[in-house]
Amino acid sequence: MTHTAKSRTLAVLVLIPSLLSATPAVAAPAAPAPERPVAAPAPQPETLAPTPPMGFNNWNAFGCDVSETLIKETADVLVSSGLAAAGYEYVNIDDCWSLRERGPDGRLVPDPVKFPSGISGVADYVHGKGLKLGIYGDAGTATCAGYPGSLGHEEIDARTWADWGVDYLKYDNCNNQSDGSQQDFVRRYTAMRDALDATGRPIVYAICEWGQSQPWTWAAEVGDLWRTTGDISDNWSSVRSIIAQNAPLAPYAGPGNWNDPDMLEIGNGGMTGTEYRTHMSMWAMMAAPLLIGTDLRKATPETLAILGNREIIAIDQDRLGVQGAVVSDRDGLMVLDKPLANGDRAIALYNSTDSLATVSVPVRETGLRRAGAYRLQDVWTGRVSQARSTISAGVPAHGTVVYRVRPLADPATVPPQVALGATVDNLLPGALGENLLTSTVTNRGVGAVRDVRVTVSTPEGWRAAEMSDTARRRLGTDASFETTWALQIPEETPAGRYPITVTTTYRWGGRQRPASTTSEIIGVVFTPPGDGRRHLSTIAPLHSSNALGPVEADQSNGGGAGGDGNLITIGGRVYNRGIGTTAPSELFYLVAGCTHLVTDVGIDDEAPATAPVTFTVHTDDRVVASSGPVSPGAAPVTLTADLTGASGLRLVATGDATGQAHADWAAPILTCGSAGPDDPVLPTERTIFSFESGTEDFTVANPGSGGTVAQTRTFRTEGEHGLTVATPKDGNWFGRTFAEPLDLTGAARLRFDVRAGEVGTVGEFAVQVGPDWAWCQGGLWSWTNPFASRTITEEIDDLSCPAGASLDLSQVRAVWIFLNGGGQVHVDNVRAEYPE
């Protein structure tokens, strides 16, 4: 099949109008509905992607470290692990696979070192495994890593990929020469669609323009799937933000036309098992492509179990092809409802908050047809239960419960759904009666449950004392009861996160069969900071409230989403440490044993505020420092607070009732114990390049690629000067070698501050080490939007060296940072950070 506009339009128009309704027509049921109704979906037009594509892509785990060996070994593992049989069929090569220059005939040339058999040889191998091969291209003059792009070369590149046997194209958006209009995006991506069609080879076309031009409004006539967001990262904040952006786009998805919230990070180590199951669950509910992004050769059994769960895959791959619709989205709790081809519904209860929460949805608010009871199968545990009129579960922090639901004729044979929720205060060691845990048990099933009991299991050495009745003889349908417990925590317990298990046991049915429900809640133990001077932004508050979005560490509060701010900027002064809030807001810290807090305060320059904000520092019940009203655009005000003898510290910003004022606590430093004003601030940093004396001999690693540098006062985060870099479109490494090796032994990460110009830029680190000057780099790029600012951070452990070379931090010969985009970029304060 070819990529015709007609077929893509039909795929949307046939499906969407009949499937968007979340609530069926109201009709009084005369009798219980049959247990498994049979649905007959309308015939669908032929498409290259009737269900969301599944497979593997190397970028998230390997970046530019791609090779023929990696792709072949991954294909082997897909087959041997059973993942191929579960539906994962594409093995996709991402950026950095070609040479830096086209061949004499104008064609792209595979890197012969990375791919000695060429892409066609790898395709033959992958096809021989019963799988399909994907490739990467870019709708610009160069790829994001600076390799040849396809802008103006669409026909020859499409023909080349087709000749090699490629089955899937990821088409990126770097160095795009765009005027920013939607018309330009449509033109560039349509040009490649037409070129692919002209080859006659069926190639799935994945549009990767990061959601910049709202592709969900136009790309159904151009590609098979389209990215709706920026790049994913292996952390909870990224996954949560992407779910919030992609979930409302359900009306635009259907067979052959998929919203793509980016590839899977499952197994890469940056999240918990609960978070990875949410990642998989919500991608399946959103009918998203499932492209594995971890090293499958080293995948743990837990990773393989998450990726290979047939029940959740079946929801993603359901032939009806409907993205789950948002039924409710309040206070960080979301419910999705996805119709399935056999008449079942998949219902997801998603908890994005940091605490265990009970998530519920009345059946009448979903697309389930009316019945006397409903059968619920948990797709992760396999447990089956029944509910009368409300679907409910205690969902762990950052967790998701997914049920496959259908009407049930005989609920007496199925255990009732009993939801167990709990809340717990932030915990203080040694305070019996002050650390309270409350649980709530609710029976959602048809028929009463009896002999209901609640127990609490705590970490070793802790004690849970009953503060209320913990048992009930009978609990009817939709009835609840609460228990209260006091937690005693040993004095020596260190700060941290501790699991607490709450269990309810009960009996159900005529034979009084035993059953139980268990929920895990995370108790967070807080202790005062130890001796020393610390950036307050590295210490978690015991409590916080904020007018809009989360409190942000080391950046402003850009808006309602996490991580959407810039480097804190007050009256033109830029800070790389601080706390971003929106007024009104309040933060509370434990500070027993601390003596001083020094901080600058002010309204961030990015804010639209029109009213002044007052910043007040409280210790216990006493005001110890206040800024008075600070106007938008004013210079930062410095506050110094004496904390001697205080146990608690409150930071309060008030004054703008609209919640629009971005109120910053800039460079707050907390002094505790015997530390003095000259002690280093933790975590300690070592400046490598400050640019106070000039450009410090900064140069380019690849002279032929271009780029210049100059000292500037326009952007600086340390001292009075920074560096202005005129970047080439395709990028270059900027830095220098050292006359004598630099010893960075013990460093945990490398960092630099950047503000992009009108184009935006990626940022990355590389170091050269040892007597052979081995080049070690991270391989993944951090994107900074046009006119935005941020700190680029690279974990030392993530730097990758060539085979046979080791990362000897005692022999650092050179430090380089990568920048691109073709615009002007400002940088400052290239540094190494050390753990406490």
Phi and psi angles of residue 199, each rounded to the nearest 5 degrees, phi first: -75, -25
Which regions of 93-247 does DSSP assign to beta strands (E)?
132-138, 168-172, 204-207, 225-227
Cα angle for residues 642, 623, 636 (degrees, 5° grid)? 75
Local structure of residue 702 (DSSP, 8 states):
-
Residue with tokens 């680029």: 792
| Surface-to-core class of residue 105, CB atoms within 10 Å of its CB (0-12 exposed, 13-18 middle, 19+ buried) | exposed
User: For residues 264 and 313, what is the distance between their CA atoms, to the nearest angstrom?
Assistant: 13
Is the Cβ–Cβ distance between 453 and 441 less than 8 Å? no
Question: For residues 203, 207, 208 and 212, what is the CA-based torsion angle, rounded to 10 degrees?
Answer: 180
At residue 546, the 3 state secondary structure works out as strand
User: For residues 835 and 455, what is the distance between their CA atoms, to the nearest angstrom?
Assistant: 40
Phi and psi angles of residue 457, each rounded to the nearest 5 degrees, phi first: -115, 125
172 assigned to active site: yes
Nearest to 749 by CA among 667, 691, 666, 686: 686
- Most distant pair of Cα atoms in the chain: their distance: 88
User: For residues 602 and 568, what is the distance between their CA atoms, to the nearest angstrom?
Assistant: 10
Is the Cβ–Cβ distance between 93 and 119 less than 8 Å? yes
Is the Cβ–Cβ distance between 831 and 687 less than 8 Å? yes
User: For residues 175 and 138, what is the distance between their CA atoms, to the nearest angstrom?
Assistant: 8
**Size of the chain in residues:** 836
User: For residues 575 and 482, what is the distance between their CA atoms, to the nearest angstrom?
Assistant: 47
From the list 95, 172, 318, 554, the catalytic residue is 172
Q: In terms of C-beta distances under 8 Å and separation of at least 24 residues, what long-range contacts does 678-684 make, across chains too?
A: 679/532, 679/533, 680/533, 681/533, 681/534, 681/535, 682/532, 682/533, 682/534, 682/535, 682/538, 682/836, 683/535, 683/538, 683/748, 683/833, 683/834, 683/835, 683/836, 684/833, 684/834
Local structure of residue 694 (DSSP, 8 states):
S
231 assigned to active site: yes
Is the Cβ–Cβ distance between 646 and 630 less than 8 Å? no
Radius of gyration of the chain from Cα atoms? Answer: 29
**Element holding 473 (H helix, E strand):** strand 471-475
Q: Quick count: other Cβ atoms within 10 Å of Cβ 333?
A: 18
CA 512 to chain centre: 45
| Surface-to-core class of residue 835, CB atoms within 10 Å of its CB (0-12 exposed, 13-18 middle, 19+ buried) | exposed
Question: Is beta strand 699-700 parallel, antiparallel or unpaired with respect to 685-689?
Answer: unpaired
User: For residues 174 and 211, what is the distance between their CA atoms, to the nearest angstrom?
Assistant: 13
CB within 8 Å of 301: residues ≥ 6 apart? none
Reported as half-sphere exposure (CB side, CA atoms, 13 A), residue 258 has a value of: 32
From the list 95, 138, 224, 231, the catalytic residue is 231
User: For residues 755 and 444, what is the distance between their CA atoms, to the nearest angstrom?
Assistant: 53
Q: Spell out the alpha helix ranges (H) of 707-793.
A: none
CA 31 to chain centre: 46
Encoding tokens for residue 69?
Answer: 């060996």
Q: Catalytic amino acids?
A: 172, 231
